[in-house]
Amino acid sequence: MKHSHLVGLIADTHDHRPAIQKAVALFNERGVKLVLHAGDFVAPFTAKDFGKLDSAFIGVFGNNDGERAGLRKAFGEIGEIYAGVQRFQYESRKFVLMHEPSCIEALVHSGDFDVILYGHTHEPEIREGETLVINPGEACGWVSGRRTVAILDLDGMKVENVEL
Protein backbone atom coordinates (compact mmCIF):
# COMPACT_ATOMS: atom_id res chain seq x y z
CA MET A 1 0.00 0.00 0.00
CA LYS A 2 1.35 3.41 -0.97
CA HIS A 3 1.29 5.89 1.89
CA SER A 4 1.69 9.59 1.29
CA HIS A 5 3.40 10.66 4.51
CA LEU A 6 6.36 8.29 4.65
CA VAL A 7 9.97 9.43 4.92
CA GLY A 8 12.88 7.08 4.20
CA LEU A 9 15.82 7.39 6.59
CA ILE A 10 19.31 6.19 5.76
CA ALA A 11 22.85 6.81 7.01
CA ASP A 12 26.39 5.54 6.70
CA THR A 13 26.11 3.92 3.28
CA HIS A 14 29.94 3.97 2.86
CA ASP A 15 29.94 2.99 -0.83
CA HIS A 16 27.99 -0.24 -0.27
CA ARG A 17 26.17 -0.18 -3.60
CA PRO A 18 24.14 -3.42 -3.16
CA ALA A 19 22.78 -2.10 0.17
CA ILE A 20 21.99 1.29 -1.39
CA GLN A 21 20.18 -0.46 -4.26
CA LYS A 22 18.10 -2.49 -1.77
CA ALA A 23 17.28 0.64 0.24
CA VAL A 24 16.23 2.58 -2.86
CA ALA A 25 14.02 -0.33 -4.00
CA LEU A 26 12.44 -0.52 -0.52
CA PHE A 27 11.79 3.24 -0.38
CA ASN A 28 10.27 3.21 -3.88
CA GLU A 29 8.15 0.13 -3.10
CA ARG A 30 6.81 1.74 0.08
CA GLY A 31 6.05 5.00 -1.72
CA VAL A 32 8.15 7.29 0.45
CA LYS A 33 7.95 10.94 -0.61
CA LEU A 34 11.26 12.07 0.91
CA VAL A 35 14.55 10.31 1.67
CA LEU A 36 16.90 11.76 4.27
CA HIS A 37 20.55 10.67 4.32
CA ALA A 38 22.44 11.40 7.54
CA GLY A 39 25.90 11.34 5.99
CA ASP A 40 28.88 9.20 5.04
CA PHE A 41 28.06 8.52 1.41
CA VAL A 42 31.84 8.47 0.71
CA ALA A 43 32.14 8.37 -3.12
CA PRO A 44 30.21 10.32 -5.75
CA PHE A 45 29.47 7.12 -7.72
CA THR A 46 26.79 6.23 -5.15
CA ALA A 47 24.61 8.83 -6.92
CA LYS A 48 24.03 6.23 -9.68
CA ASP A 49 21.96 4.21 -7.21
CA PHE A 50 20.30 7.10 -5.37
CA GLY A 51 19.32 8.49 -8.77
CA LYS A 52 16.70 5.74 -9.03
CA LEU A 53 14.70 7.17 -6.11
CA ASP A 54 11.09 8.13 -6.87
CA SER A 55 11.18 10.75 -4.11
CA ALA A 56 12.73 14.01 -3.03
CA PHE A 57 16.16 13.73 -1.37
CA ILE A 58 18.04 15.71 1.29
CA GLY A 59 21.40 14.72 2.73
CA VAL A 60 24.18 16.03 4.93
CA PHE A 61 27.87 15.32 4.70
CA GLY A 62 29.50 12.98 7.19
CA ASN A 63 33.04 12.87 8.49
CA ASN A 64 34.07 10.39 5.76
CA ASP A 65 32.75 12.51 2.89
CA GLY A 66 36.01 14.01 1.66
CA GLU A 67 35.02 14.61 -1.95
CA ARG A 68 32.26 17.10 -1.20
CA ALA A 69 32.36 19.00 -4.50
CA GLY A 70 32.17 15.71 -6.41
CA LEU A 71 29.29 14.47 -4.28
CA ARG A 72 27.34 17.73 -4.70
CA LYS A 73 27.86 17.60 -8.47
CA ALA A 74 26.91 13.90 -8.75
CA PHE A 75 23.76 14.43 -6.64
CA GLY A 76 22.83 17.64 -8.48
CA GLU A 77 19.75 16.15 -10.18
CA ILE A 78 18.78 14.01 -7.16
CA GLY A 79 18.76 16.46 -4.28
CA GLU A 80 20.86 18.67 -2.07
CA ILE A 81 23.67 17.60 0.27
CA TYR A 82 24.42 20.13 3.00
CA ALA A 83 27.41 20.68 5.27
CA GLY A 84 26.83 20.56 9.01
CA VAL A 85 23.47 20.54 10.72
CA GLN A 86 20.47 21.08 8.45
CA ARG A 87 17.18 22.39 9.82
CA PHE A 88 14.06 22.31 7.65
CA GLN A 89 10.32 21.84 7.67
CA TYR A 90 8.50 19.08 5.79
CA GLU A 91 4.76 18.32 5.95
CA SER A 92 4.44 20.79 8.87
CA ARG A 93 7.04 18.85 10.91
CA LYS A 94 10.30 20.45 12.01
CA PHE A 95 13.40 18.39 11.29
CA VAL A 96 17.07 18.50 12.21
CA LEU A 97 19.36 16.37 10.04
CA MET A 98 22.99 15.85 11.07
CA HIS A 99 25.73 13.27 10.87
CA GLU A 100 27.48 13.35 14.24
CA PRO A 101 25.17 13.32 17.28
CA SER A 102 26.32 16.62 18.73
CA CYS A 103 24.04 18.63 21.02
CA ILE A 104 21.16 16.15 20.65
CA GLU A 105 20.09 16.55 24.28
CA ALA A 106 20.00 20.34 23.93
CA LEU A 107 18.01 20.05 20.70
CA VAL A 108 15.54 17.66 22.35
CA HIS A 109 15.15 19.90 25.41
CA SER A 110 14.63 22.98 23.21
CA GLY A 111 11.28 21.54 22.16
CA ASP A 112 11.76 23.23 18.78
CA PHE A 113 11.89 20.07 16.67
CA ASP A 114 9.66 17.12 15.88
CA VAL A 115 12.38 14.87 14.45
CA ILE A 116 16.14 14.70 14.95
CA LEU A 117 17.94 12.36 12.57
CA TYR A 118 21.60 11.47 12.88
CA GLY A 119 24.10 8.80 11.85
CA HIS A 120 27.81 8.27 12.60
CA THR A 121 27.53 5.72 15.44
CA HIS A 122 26.40 2.90 13.09
CA GLU A 123 23.93 1.89 15.85
CA PRO A 124 20.17 2.06 15.31
CA GLU A 125 18.30 4.22 17.81
CA ILE A 126 14.65 5.18 18.02
CA ARG A 127 13.90 7.39 21.00
CA GLU A 128 10.25 8.36 21.18
CA GLY A 129 8.96 11.41 22.97
CA GLU A 130 7.88 14.93 22.18
CA THR A 131 10.93 15.00 19.91
CA LEU A 132 11.60 11.81 17.97
CA VAL A 133 15.33 10.99 17.85
CA ILE A 134 16.34 8.51 15.15
CA ASN A 135 19.50 6.86 13.94
CA PRO A 136 18.58 4.41 11.18
CA GLY A 137 21.81 2.49 11.82
CA GLU A 138 24.36 1.70 9.16
CA ALA A 139 23.10 0.85 5.70
CA CYS A 140 26.54 -0.51 4.77
CA GLY A 141 26.81 -3.17 7.48
CA TRP A 142 30.60 -2.81 7.59
CA VAL A 143 30.80 -2.33 11.38
CA SER A 144 27.90 -4.28 12.91
CA GLY A 145 27.21 -6.77 10.13
CA ARG A 146 23.60 -5.50 10.05
CA ARG A 147 22.40 -3.29 7.19
CA THR A 148 19.49 -1.18 8.38
CA VAL A 149 17.39 1.80 7.30
CA ALA A 150 14.19 3.23 8.76
CA ILE A 151 10.84 4.48 7.55
CA LEU A 152 9.07 7.27 9.41
CA ASP A 153 5.29 7.59 9.18
CA LEU A 154 4.58 11.28 9.77
CA ASP A 155 0.88 10.67 10.46
CA GLY A 156 1.47 8.64 13.62
CA MET A 157 5.10 9.71 14.15
CA LYS A 158 6.05 6.02 14.24
CA VAL A 159 9.35 4.60 13.01
CA GLU A 160 9.96 1.19 11.51
CA ASN A 161 13.55 -0.07 11.44
CA VAL A 162 14.09 -2.31 8.41
CA GLU A 163 16.95 -4.75 7.84
CA LEU A 164 18.14 -4.80 4.24
**String of DSSP letters for 34-63:** EEEE-S---SGGGHHHHTT-SSEEEEE--T
Average pLDDT over residues 107-136: 97
Sorted by where each starts, the structural domains of the chain and their CATH numbers stand as 6-163 (3.60.21.10)
Average pLDDT over residues 12-37: 98
Cβ neighbours of 134 (radius 10 Å) = 24
Note the pTM of the prediction, 2 decimals. 0.97
Answer yes or no: are the C-beta atoms of 23 and 10 closer than 8 Å: yes
Strand partners of residue 34? 7, 56
Write phi, then psi, for 119 (nearest 5 degrees).
Answer: -135, -130
**In the chain, which ranges are E strands?**
6-10, 34-37, 56-60, 80-82, 86-90, 93-97, 115-117, 125-127, 132-135, 148-153, 158-163
Query: What percentage of residues in the chain have a pLDDT greater than 90?
Result: 97
Return d(Cα 120, Cα 53) in angstroms, integer: 23
What per-residue confidence (pLDDT) applies to 4?
Answer: 67
Q: Angle 141-58-108 (CA atoms, 0-180°, nearest 5)?
A: 80
Q: Angle 90-159-63 (CA atoms, 0-180°, nearest 5)?
A: 70
- Does 1 have pLDDT greater than 50? no
| 4 CB-side CA count, 13 A | 1
